Amino acid sequence: MTDKIILMGLEIYGRHGCSEEERNHDQLFIVDAELYLDLSRAAKSDDLGDTIDYALVIDDIKKIVGGTSRNLIETVAQDICDFLLRRYLLLDSVKIILSKPNPPIDEKFAGAAVEIVRHRG
């Protein structure tokens, strides 16, 4: 059995994309994260020290998405996964869905997204 903490719909502004326009103007990104870890100890102890503080995870994700510009949302999602797995030793794996709801494309569509899953080790 795998437990998880789910963070949904985190809205962050960043400057990611291949065009100069995307890298020079803030645009909205939406992040969903699933943090896979054993939550049984925390469920029994009712102690934040036995789990991952998702407020800290949200802050970490905001710093990455709002930080260094990248060409690809794939790279941003990978950066998030790598950082979270390094920082939070309780994590077994992490899934990030990074959405770009308003890419500068002439066609009308709801946006683009990537989903990346990474495991410890």
Q: Is 100 a catalytic residue?
A: yes
Q: Which of 44, 62, 100, 108 is catalytic?
A: 100
**Residue 49 token pair:** 């020290």
Contacts of 106 (CB under 8 A, 6+ apart): none
Strand-by-strand arrangement of the 112-119 sheet: 4-14, 27-36, 93-100, 112-119
Identify which of 91, 74, 82, 96 has the alpha carbon closest to the alpha carbon of residue 30: 96
| Catalytic residue annotation | 100
